[in-house]
Structure 1
Amino acid sequence: MQNQPSLSSRITTSQPIRVLALILVGLPIVTMSNENMQNYLSFSLKTFLSPNYYIWTIFTAPFYEPSIIGAIFSVLALLFLSKTFEQSWSPRELIRFIIIVSIGTSFSTFLFVWILSFFLRSSSLVLAVFSGFSCVIGGFLVAFKQILPEKEVSLICGKLRAKNLPAVYLLISLLFGLIDNMSGFVYSFFGVLIAWIYLRHFQKHEIDGTRGDHSAEFSLKSFLPEGIHSSIDSVSDKIPFVDKNSNQGGNKLGRATLEELQNLNRSNQLFDEEQNDEFLLEDFDFENQINNNESKKD
């Protein structure tokens, strides 16, 4: 009978991640005694713009969960998923990813709500409050899809492949948003989007120095149901600036495919053989000249 891995072996040992977990749990406990502190941690146009200028909320909002239950769920997701990424990324890259997704989500949310409120003249958008670690969790699921797309994950409703987790996560966030409010869905959506943009185009791979992942398996359409992929391709073919290579199979950005490497090796072998043949011919001609000279002397 095989020994099952212990719970501690499945949790990250990174000290910065554990400190972040304590912050996620501690902030809602602190704000329970003083509800006014939520205004200093959550993001809202009302407090972000004049006359308050709570600009720091762009940085604090992603790490503030207003409910204890939400904080516990976020901590569990952080501790367990971080362990997976530590095996593929460096600890510094994991921290960088969390910072980019969290701040990118807050800034994107600000632009989205500000522009939308300007055109709709809606006071509810100005008063809307945004916060929560849901943006980073959505980003984690995108990274999980990239690293282990075919891995089966056991959920309450059954098993699900990792490549489908981001779409299911957004669907659940949307359903909760329709019941309560859409702020959580907006944060989750931008978390997924920012994570995909970073991993698709900007993440630097330490092994070969390339950036991004332009494989077809990680294209934007891969987040949508497979039944509509053909419709997406037919539309994207009419757009001149869409990368056709990624639609037709693609390859890792800056990385040679197996076929290209094989062709390169064949070319090198042919070149070496031609060079050897030339050297042999030169040696043969040189020997003939020596023999001819000796025969003339005789």
Structure 2
Amino acid sequence: MSTPQLSGGTMSMFTGFTRLCKGLAVVLVGGHIVVQILPSALSYLALIPAKTIPFAWNLFTAGYTEQSIYGLFISTIGLLFVGKLLEPIWGSREFLKFIFVVNFLTSVCVFITAIALYYITRQEIYLYMPVSGFQGVLSGFLVGIKQIVPDQDLSFLKIKAKWLPSLALLVSIIVSFFTAESASYLPTMIYGTFIGWIYLRYWQRKPETKLRGDPSDEFSFSTFFPEFCRPVINPIATIFERMLCGRRSEISDESGGYTLGGTTLPGSDPIEASRRRERGARALEERLAAERLAAAGKTEETQKDATENV
């Protein structure tokens, strides 16, 4: 099986966006327009820790409220293009559930962090700085790409898809030293990446195995870090793994899969993980092939019309 590319032809690149992603893009654009026309609405839509109680709804609305035109552009483009890849593979219901869970839990983590920083530093900026944007969910999407096509080469970046989440965080950390606006997005991106991994690693239900998550070694927490860091990361990650999985779930040294009472759970070994990735890659390849065929048909029809006109 040939390796699918993450981008199709020039013409098909801007087609094939799903209805759900288009609808969410409208929500993002609408939220931005509202806060531009009514700046006071930001106090009710964005996450402002000092006002989250009793305005608890901003834990949900903050993720869909873009304050800047640059953030709106990045979020909308990212949603449309990444959604075109992930939604057909996950399904619309699972895709929407992922967005809801990652957005909400990211906001909760940012809220808790802001409160903790206030009590540590006593600086009120942590309580009253409005935090909002879709960046947390976009970071979670990159984790989804890492899971589905980890070894896909990105021709425009000359790196593999599995490094996209780590690279995005590294760039965000570097940029945050130079602009205050980027620094406000950093916690959202960090928590979005982490919550996205938690969801896909432990919570996402797999219809083919009737189990949850992806416990394969290729999707472990240490794979977000370079090889030389993993001897330090692995022991910490193992403790975290056992806390989330419980005492009954262990990593089998022989098979690399999860065991329950000495029996390897189906779908938890590397072979099953590889099959899942092959199915995802195959679905992506079929979709891109259909887009290329449609683009070629449009080109042929255009050329035919031009010839008839002459």
Question: TM-score, normalised to structure 2's length?
Answer: 0.73
1:132 positional shift: 0.6
Match of 2:29 among 15, 21, 25: 25
1:30-41 equivalence runs, <5 A: 30-41=34-45
Residue type of the alignment partner of 1:17:
C
User: Secondary structure of the residue that 2:84 maps to in structure 1?
Assistant: helix
Matched, 1:4 2:9: yes
Once superposed, what is the RMSD of the aligned Cα atoms? 2.8
| Cross-structure match for 1:146 | 147
Whole-angstrom distance in 1 between the partners of 2:45 and 2:231: 44
The residue matched to 1:201 in structure 2 has which SS?
Answer: helix
Task: Tell me what 2:267 maps to.
Answer: 255
Say whether the 8 Å CA contact 1:113–1:125 is kept in structure 2. Answer: yes
Where structure 1 has 5 or more consecutive residues not aligned to the other structure, the ranges are 261-298
- Superposition map of 1:1-298 within 5 A: 4=9, 6-7=11-12, 10-13=15-18, 15-49=19-53, 53-155=54-156, 158-181=157-180, 182-233=183-234, 241=242, 245=251, 250-251=256-257, 254-255=266-267, 257=269
Taking a change above 3 Å as real, the CA distance of residues 204 and 256 of structure 1, as seen in their structure-2 partners, is: closer
Q: Percent identity?
A: 32
TM-aligned CA distance change 1:141 to 1:247, over 3 Å? farther
Q: Deviations over 1:206-242 (max 9, x none)?
A: 1221110111111111001112112334666799947
Mapped partners of 2:114, 2:105: distance in 1: 14
Structure 2: gaps of 5 or more residues? 1-7, 244-248, 259-264, 273-310
- Alignment-mate amino acid for residue 31 of structure 1: V
In the aligned structure 2, how far is the partner of 1:247 from the partner of 1:143?
Answer: 26
Q: Deviations over 1:20-74 (max 9, x none)?
A: 101112222232222222112110112223xxx2221111100111111211111
CA distance in 1, matches of 2:20, 2:238: 45
- Per the TM alignment, residue 258 of structure 1 is displaced from its structure 2 partner at its CA by 7.8
Distance 1:184-1:9 versus aligned 2 partners, 3 A rule: closer
Post-superposition offset of 1:4: 3.4
Aligned length: 252
The alpha carbon displacement at 1:116 in A equals: 2.6
- Change beyond 3 A, Cα 1:254–1:122: farther
Is the alpha carbon distance of 1:34 and 1:197 closer, same or farther for their aligned partners in structure 2, counting shifts above 3 Å?
Answer: same
Counterpart Cα distance in 2 of 1:45 and 1:239: 28
Is contact 2:256-2:270 (8 Å) kept?
no
**1:234-281 Cα distance to aligned partner (Å, 9 max, x none):** 666799947873898734764264889xxxxxxxxxxxxxxxxxxxxx
The structure with the larger Rg is 1
In 2 relative to 1, CA 206–32 (structure 1 residues): closer, same or farther, beyond 3 Å?
Answer: same
